[in-house]
Amino acid sequence: MDLTNVSQAKVYDGWHKQYQHTSSVLNCEMRFAIFLPPSASAANPVPVLYWLSGLTCTDENFMQKAAAFEKAAELGIAIVAPDTSPRGESVPDDAEKSYDFGLGAGFYLNATQEPWKTHYQMYSYVVEELPQLVEANFPVTSQRSIAGHSMGGHGALTIGIKNPDKYVSISAFSPICHPTVVPWGEKAFRHYLGEDKTTWQEYDAVELIKTHQVTTPILVDQGDADGFLEEQLKPEALQHAAREHHVPLELRMQSGYDHSYFFIQTFINEHLAFHACQLFKD
């Protein structure tokens, strides 16, 4: 698997770099970004936090707006940010070009329906192909954590819960906790997965908590001034399921914060420290 370096910039004595590659899982050209802390080297490989972004984002939003690099440099954690959907002219998009389905809205699932299933396989891309690529090409270990925002918070929760052997900690900002019962999730899942709602439960954190023995620590921050909170996010359903099934979830309602990267940057250092606790255990 060949990587083409697209950009690089020194930051906090480490590096931010963007790469392009051909994804055999997604059947298209993909771009991702990686932050490498200054301590990363072949002699000192570092663990990786995978960051999954929200609707409309690319690999750039988190890397430019989250203010995460000072702390990640200090802790010695690499950060990898994939795109939010397959891309390119061959990839089908929503006929109405809506922001919440199609390009920029892959929902971190494996589509089963035409015409989506050829390309929209973001679950396998994030869980399998991307870590293989990263671990083969950069000075990193196979210690991984996963985090994300909004649609990417849904991705982090569902992927982390389903793969306890692959991720040592999970965190999310403003995640779509219960996509099977909210407009964003219903629209995307109907197209990608079809009308049989039993197949949707594989990609719903609240449902997964009921059927998986979750012991991975989970941190969720949610702003109470988030305009999407009531209709789309449903953190109370996540908390309810977590309590009932003894899942180590800490949900923090943050007073006055909205859905933006200003919220994320305020608490990202605490998320990095949370992941570091697990990544550097023993």
Q: Residue 192 or residue 261: which is nearer to its own copies going by CB?
A: 261
**Strand, coil or helix: 17:** strand
Residue 39 designated active-site: no
The CA distance from 169 to 182, in Å, is 26
Q: Pick the closest to residue 218 from 192, 238, 244, 191 (CA basis).
A: 238
Pick from 128, 266, 270, 280: which binds its own copies (CB under 8 A)?
266
64, containing H or E segment: helix 60-65
Residue 74 CB, nearest distance to its own copies (Å)? 13
Please report whether residue 271 would count as binding its own copies according to CB under 8 A: no
Residue 33's beta-bridge partner residues?
Answer: 18, 81
Q: Binding of its own copies at residue 162 (CB under 8 A)?
A: no
Binding of residue 5 to its own copies (CB under 8 A) = no
Choosing from 10, 43, 195, 196, the residue that interacts with its own copies (CB under 8 A) is 10
- Compute the least distance from the CB of residue 15 to its own copies, in Å: 9
Per CB under 8 A, 153 contacts its own copies? no
Decide: is 13 part of the binding site for its own copies (CB under 8 A).
yes
- Min dist. Cβ of residue 109 to its own copies (A): 29
User: Contacting its own copies (CB under 8 A), which of 98, 118, 265, 278?
Assistant: 265
Helix or strand or coil: residue 5?
strand
Q: Is 9 in the site for its own copies (CB under 8 A)?
A: yes
CA angle 273, 80, 210 (to 5 degrees): 70
Residue (61 or 143) nearer to its own copies, CB: 61
- Residues, the chain, total? 282
Sequence-ordered list of residues with C-beta below 8 angstroms from that of 118, at least 6 positions apart, any chain: 27
Which are the contacts of 80, defined by CB distance < 8 A and separation ≥ 6? 32, 33, 34, 35, 48, 49, 50, 51, 130, 134
| Pick 69 or 203: Cβ nearer its own copies | 69
- Residue 261 touches its own copies, criterion: CB under 8 A: yes
Count of C-beta atoms within a 10 Å radius of residue 267: 18
Task: From the candidates 150, 169, 171, 174, give the one annotated as an active-site residue.
Answer: 150
Cβ distance to its own copies smaller for residue 99 or 262: 262
Looking at residues 195 to 234 of the shown chain, list those that interact with its own copies (rule: CB under 8 A): 223, 225
Catalytic residue among 119, 154, 178, 259: 259
* Binding to its own copies, residues 65-124 (CB under 8 A): 65, 67, 69-70
The shares of helix, strand and coil residues in the chain, as percent rounded to the nearest 5, are 35, 25, 40
Phi/psi at 269 (nearest 5 deg)?
-60, -35
Nearer of residues 26 and 36 to its own copies, judged by Cβ: 36
- The CA-CA-CA angle for residues 189, 124, 221, to 5°, reads 65
Question: Cβ closer to its own copies: 121 or 150?
Answer: 150
Whether 226 is catalytic: yes
Q: Is 196 a catalytic residue?
A: no
Nearest in space to 236 (alpha carbons), one of 249, 225, 248, 246: 249
Which residues are known to be catalytic?
150, 226, 259
- Which residue ranges make up the site for its own copies (CB under 8 A)? 9-13, 16, 64-65, 67, 69-70, 223, 225, 256-258, 260-263, 265-266, 269
